Amino acid sequence: MQLRSLTVCAIIAFAAGLIVASFAGFREFLPGLLQGALITVEITLGGCVLSVIAAVIAALAKMYGPWPIRWLAVVYIEIFRGTSALVQLFWLFFVLPRFGLTMEPLTVAILALGLNVGAYGAEVVRGAVAAVPRGQWEATIALNMNRAQALRRIILPQAVVAMIPPWGNLFIELLKATAIVSLITVADLAFRAQEMNATTYRTVEIFSIVLVIYLAMAMLITIGMRRLEGLAAKGLARGRSH
């Protein structure tokens, strides 16, 4: 997102907020919806953490693992990228219990979304690591570092900067995808909206408020990632040669 469109977003959000606020149902619906939003935030945060962990492990396994592990990573990435998030969610929710693995719907939600986004993130990590100039690897060999030392101290710190913007997009995709957890009875923002809509039929008001809440959360992610990018870039910009 450009800074310009960010401002546009802010203006529109403000306008939408005003319109929404003028609705009669505003006071009536907002508290319930905010309760759902809290669950959405929880799933988003959990999913983000899980996705980063899964992505880094899968990417490193795919790049440097011995063949069985590499194969496993490829299968994970292809399956989670090749099928849809909702199918994965339902599979974990309906099928896993048959293997004796019963989890809370909230856990299933975080697991499904985190693993789903992690598969996409693995390719982001891989791309960023591959984009670190070859000379950096050669320098680590000349300095007799082993691969783990080289990755941890030299390569990954440089790759992280390139990863932040695409991760920002992935986190927003994850936030948006959390809406589907309402379909496995997790009482998130989308779930509350459907519930209220089913009892009151005041669709426009309810869903407008909901959309604005989602937009606000997405903007928070964007702003946060921008901050992070600025911080990381400052660390590396000093170091980027010319």
Partner 1 sequence: MTDIAKGPAPAAAPTGSPMVRFDQVTKSYGAFVVLDQLELDVAAGEKVAIIGPSGSGKTTVLRMLMTLEPINGGVIWVDGEPLTSMRRNGALVPADARHLRRMRGKIGMVFQHFNLFPHMTALKNCMEAPCTVLGLSKAESEARGRELLVMVGLGDKLQHYPAQLSGGQQQRVAIARALAMRPKVMLFDEVTSALDPELVGEVLNVIRKLGAELDLTMLMVTHQMGFAKEFADRVCFFYGGKICEQGPPAKLFGSPENERTRQFLRAVLEAT
Partner 2 sequence: MKFWDWPFTFEILPMLAWASLVTLEATILGFAIAAVLGLAFAIGRMFGPAWLSVPLAGFIEFIRSTPLLIQIFFLFFVFPEFGISLPAMTAGVMALGLHYATYCSEVYRAGLANIARGQWEACTALNLTAFHTFRDVIIPQAIPPIVPALGNYFVALFKDTPLLSAIAVLELMQTAKIIGSDNFRYTEPITIVGLIFLIFSLAAAGLIRLVEMRLNRRIRRA
x/- track of binding to partner 1 for residues 52-91 (CB under 8 A): ----------------------------------------
How far apart, in whole angstroms, are the C-alpha atoms of residue 7 and residue 4?
A: 5
Question: 115: which residues sit within 8 A by CB, 6+ positions away?
Answer: 50, 51, 54, 76, 80, 88
Alpha helical stretches, state H, the chain: 3-22, 26-64, 67-82, 85-90, 105-130, 134-142, 147-149, 156-177, 189-200, 203-237
Rg (CA), the chain: 21
Question: Which of partner 2, partner 1, none lies near 241, with the C-beta cut-off 5 to 8 A by kind?
Answer: partner 1
Q: Please report whether residue 1 would count as binding partner 2 according to CB under 8 A.
A: yes
Pair 126, 61: CB distance under 8 Å: no
Neighbouring CB atoms inside 10 A of 82's CB total 8
Q: Which is nearer to partner 1, 34 or 143 (CB)?
A: 143
Shortest separation between residue 233's beta carbon and partner 1, angstroms? 11
- Touching partner 2, residues 160-189 (CB under 8 A): 172, 175-180, 182-183
Q: Between 8 and 231, whose beta carbon lies closer to partner 2?
A: 8
Whole-angstrom distance, CA of residue 215 vs CA of residue 234: 28
- Nearest CB to partner 1, comparing residues 6 and 145: 145
* Torsion-angle region of 188 (φ positive above 0: left; ψ -120 to 50: alpha; else: beta): beta
Stretch that binds partner 1, among 33-41, 119-127, 150-158, 172-180 (CB under 8 A): 150-158
- Interaction of residue 207 with partner 2, rule CB under 8 A: yes
21 vs 15: CA distance, rounded Å: 10
Residues 103-142 that bind partner 1 (CB under 8 A): 133, 135-136, 138-139, 141-142
Residues that bind partner 2 (CB under 8 A): 1, 4-5, 8-9, 11-12, 78-79, 81-88, 90-91, 94-95, 98-99, 172, 175-180, 182-183, 190, 193-194, 197, 201, 203-204, 207, 210-211, 214-215, 218-219
